[in-house]
Structure 1
């Protein structure tokens, strides 16, 4: 897996330590699964035969790692709602201090309904109608315009309705002017996955910088209400170096805008004018390591110390979270964005300007003096905040032998795991098998082509009968419920026999799974439960992990939760306790909780009913 290697190379650490942390995460997943079964939230009916489970401790630990990263003070970190639009997940993000990035009218309304302040909501989309633009302007959210035609469309709206720029529009007041940005394609190239790379020579997003630099500068000169810049290089498979280069190119454009504004206005810099670029939105796109349960690359180990007398050595090298690494790379490449932070000096800025590589731009490097007062930085992280915190579980319904393989059928398939099924080479998933009580049977890997040939003879006899030795490994296809042959999560994976009532588990499904749910075959989407481990059930494994790696162990233990839990339970948003229907239009409101053996659960989203699915098709 290329992405796994890209990320793993950033965080070399002691093998014993890494294996300990991965075993700790695996044990949490097993414990949560068995607790969910025991508590009756999983498997007690057909409606609970599939479900998703979000580890709230890991979620809050990830957010804490983001907040620890050395981004400039005042940076607005927004959560890309497209990654996981579940309302109660968004409310957790809001309470943790994050804003929201939205890419449609539906996502915009979801963010507002979930209580995000409009000034902390960023509306991006390559297709915004006039009415959607008017709605956004009236709501008072930040707006990033995709192209120069959209700039003209907004100019026409503002000419007809100048009150749309009022800072109190929508019932909210803002401290400064409305933030309206222009998206630029820095054209730095594509990453490993072309479909997720947005800064190639040709892209559906933004105005191409290398071809339309003059027009971009003219847009700022002609429209004083444009006061921000936006870019996004890509997601998953895009190296950090490419992302940083994209930010650098757009930051150079920002400096040119400031220089032009200074030349055009005698008031600039003398207290009578305002800087032109108030915010620089650098997008998101940090890659996720899907191949294992290592969390070091995500959470970091800045505070790691070995407890006295510990038999296990700490990592041989400090593990830096991907957020910290990204912020540090930005500062090294673009120190003027960090002016005034931790003693950043004019000499540091000048040195960076002297060493900036502009050979690809065929132009003179711009002066950075115009950016000595840095704009607010805005990020739009999605996948990296939630992917690792969620696993999906599907009950095994049938198991049969066919052509030398076992075929195991569960409710997990291409409706929920759309990319994994339709693009398995790009988006492989890990598949785990548990028994009907949630005890691990095996965590395997897909067999190679050679392996498939070697085991074929071994299973010839097993093909004659469903019975086999309890511990025997057979090449197994793990398939889903959809009506096409390709609905497959694993092929020829070596597994012991699976039986109806066992459980298939797929980790790392917190991002772009439920949000991409397919309506094919009209199946009901699953419920989503949050869970956390009760303090009094700490295991020796957790204690050892805390000794070896406090930062990571704490991030996956209740003590790291931003909303500190009481000894009795986890602190949940007070609004969840409301007995009436919420503004999002949910059916009931209130909080549904359950307790298992070692873990507590709260319902974040109930699963759909068949009637609700049919209503989707019968809207007339």
Structure 2
């Protein structure tokens, strides 16, 4: 469920009409619903109410500090994968004890920064990283809570570019080697193993891969406890999918996911951490765009819009589907005609949809790309020297620009010409 609905024939974000936002900030623009963000966070929180837990929002999904503050004030922790994301979470007022630091390529500078400023735990991804963290922690005279991300070699049955739990993926330590790694942690200064971490991928629409992975984590936890390690937490990652295509069956809901967790690891007495991002933010945002031209090609029509692949790269990168809807509600029973929805970037890959059945649209009409709250603004670029587009947060009948569109001068001022040119 989201809070983008038609009212009196016009698509609204909560109680604010999208044409009003377009008139004020221009297009393209990202528009987020606070009510949807909070609803989705609370669904996860409720799904784990059977035991101690912390829902750590995956900052990489949508990292605007206003979104982080909204969720942090509601009680969410944060899962970060870089110093930049850590700084964003702290700027949003999230305390270090609610921030989990993940990611496979943590630099020594990043590790030192989070240790100096507070962190709940660091999820280790490799033995070299483990030894580097031990050396830094020892020189700082601190003890760091850590988990080891294990790779369970489970097929998440998702797109190959967002699968992270198979043996050939770059993430984590093979689960068969985990006991040796935990033994080394116990012998190293500055580290204290507090849990086990696993994350098998993103946009999962089947609970069975989760069940397989968590069963392996449960077996490992018992073995580690037999070895003398005090395993108190299980970081079970995120990855639950969202319904990008409304006509398809909906993926499992957080309550069903929480029940799988309870069944597989609930008897271990561990605090549960999860790291959802896409399901919290994905359907909480749309990309608002305006049609520039309707172009009649050879055997096909092209709907040329002012949004482009640098604003929403998922279709170009993953072949991903996003529902595209007119902001003005079409009449019931209107005839649909296929059109390729494309942007103005000088790439054939700048295509959002091919032969998509759409109601009549023409230059000047507003459209919305649904499901653009996650992995849109955070993956945006200035390709073709197109400015990053504004982000707008709506709450009830109020709205605010939470990232403005830069001016041309601001874009140019970041660059300089050497004196010798």
TM-score (norm 1): 0.62
Counterpart in the other structure of 1:462: none
Q: Which moved more, 1:142-151 or 1:94-103?
A: 142-151
Classify 1:160/1:139 alpha carbon distance in 2 versus 1 (closer, same or farther; 3 Å).
Answer: same
User: Does residue 179 of the first structure (1) align with residue 140 of the second (2)?
Assistant: no
Aligned 1:479-498 pairs, distance under 5 A: 479-498=342-361
Counterpart in the other structure of 2:301: 406
Counterpart in the other structure of 1:359: none
User: Does residue 384 of the first structure (1) align with residue 279 of the second (2)?
Assistant: yes
**Any idea what SS the aligned residue of 1:179 has?**
strand
Tell me, yes or no, if the aligned pair for 2:339 and 2:356 is still in contact at 8 Å. yes
Tell me, yes or no, if the aligned pair for 1:408 and 1:478 is still in contact at 8 Å. yes
Q: Write 1 or 2 for the structure with the bigger share of helix.
A: 1
Distance 2:313 2:283 in 1: 17
Counterpart in the other structure of 1:394: 289
1:148 pairs with one of 118, 127, 130? 127
Distance 1:402 1:525 in 2: 30
2:330 pairs with one of 441, 444, 456? 441
Counterpart in the other structure of 1:607: 405
Classify 1:37/1:202 alpha carbon distance in 2 versus 1 (closer, same or farther; 3 Å).
Answer: closer
Distance 2:230 2:60 in 1: 30
2:341 pairs with one of 469, 474, 478? 478
Distance 2:179 2:56 in 1: 30
1:86 pairs with one of 46, 64, 67? 64
Counterpart in the other structure of 1:353: none
Counterpart in the other structure of 1:518: 381
Aligned 1:97-176 pairs, distance under 5 A: 97-141=75-119, 142-162=121-141, 164-165=142-143
2:324 pairs with one of 420, 428, 431? 431
Distance 1:127 1:329 in 2: 30
Classify 1:112/1:401 alpha carbon distance in 2 versus 1 (closer, same or farther; 3 Å).
Answer: same
Distance 1:43 1:409 in 2: 20
Tell me, yes or no, if the aligned pair for 1:82 and 1:103 is still in contact at 8 Å. yes
Distance 2:289 2:332 in 1: 15
Counterpart in the other structure of 1:328: 259
Per the TM alignment, residue 38 of structure 1 is displaced from its structure 2 partner at its CA by 5.5
Counterpart in the other structure of 1:43: 23
Counterpart in the other structure of 2:219: 252
Per the TM alignment, residue 49 of structure 1 is displaced from its structure 2 partner at its CA by 2.1
- Structure 1 stretches of 4+ with a deviation exceeding 6 A read none
Stretches of structure 2 lacking an aligned partner (at least 5 in a row): none
Counterpart in the other structure of 1:458: none
Distance 2:86 2:48 in 1: 29
Distance 2:395 2:247 in 1: 17
Classify 1:615/1:237 alpha carbon distance in 2 versus 1 (closer, same or farther; 3 Å).
Answer: farther
Question: Could you list the per-position Cα deviations for residues 320-358 of structure 1 after superposition, in whole angstroms to 9, with x for gaps in the alignment?
Answer: x72111111122223313xxxxxxxxxxxxxxxxxxxxx
Counterpart in the other structure of 2:392: 529
User: Does residue 31 of the first structure (1) align with residue 11 of the second (2)?
Assistant: yes
Tell me, yes or no, if the aligned pair for 2:158 and 2:201 is still in contact at 8 Å. no
Question: Could you list the per-position Cα deviations for residues 490-546 of structure 1 after superposition, in whole angstroms to 9, with x for gaps in the alignment?
Answer: 22234454322111211111101111112311211221222244xxxxxxxxxxxxx
Per the TM alignment, residue 619 of structure 1 is displaced from its structure 2 partner at its CA by 9.7
Tell me, yes or no, if the aligned pair for 2:95 and 2:118 is still in contact at 8 Å. no
Tell me, yes or no, if the aligned pair for 1:433 and 1:505 is still in contact at 8 Å. yes
Question: Could you list the per-position Cα deviations for residues 28-48 of structure 1 after superposition, in whole angstroms to 9, with x for gaps in the alignment?
Answer: 694317954554x3135xx61
Per the TM alignment, residue 613 of structure 1 is displaced from its structure 2 partner at its CA by 3.0
Classify 1:423/1:617 alpha carbon distance in 2 versus 1 (closer, same or farther; 3 Å).
Answer: farther
Distance 1:609 1:278 in 2: 50
Question: Could you list the per-position Cα deviations for residues 44-82 of structure 1 after superposition, in whole angstroms to 9, with x for gaps in the alignment?
Answer: 5xx612112112222222222222214443301110000
Classify 1:608/1:208 alpha carbon distance in 2 versus 1 (closer, same or farther; 3 Å).
Answer: same
Tell me, yes or no, if the aligned pair for 1:220 and 1:257 is still in contact at 8 Å. no
2:174 pairs with one of 201, 208, 226? 208
Distance 2:331 2:311 in 1: 23
**Any idea what SS the aligned residue of 1:226 has?**
strand
Rg: which structure is higher? 1
Counterpart in the other structure of 2:199: 232
Tell me, yes or no, if the aligned pair for 1:415 and 1:518 is still in contact at 8 Å. yes
Classify 1:433/1:619 alpha carbon distance in 2 versus 1 (closer, same or farther; 3 Å).
Answer: farther
Distance 2:344 2:370 in 1: 19
Tell me, yes or no, if the aligned pair for 1:91 and 1:115 is still in contact at 8 Å. yes
Q: Which moved more, 1:506-515 or 1:185-194?
A: 185-194
Distance 1:118 1:614 in 2: 36
User: Does residue 291 of the first structure (1) align with residue 245 of the second (2)?
Assistant: yes
1:219 pairs with one of 184, 198, 202? 184
**Any idea what SS the aligned residue of 2:130 has?**
helix
Task: Please provide the CA RMSD for this pair.
Answer: 2.8
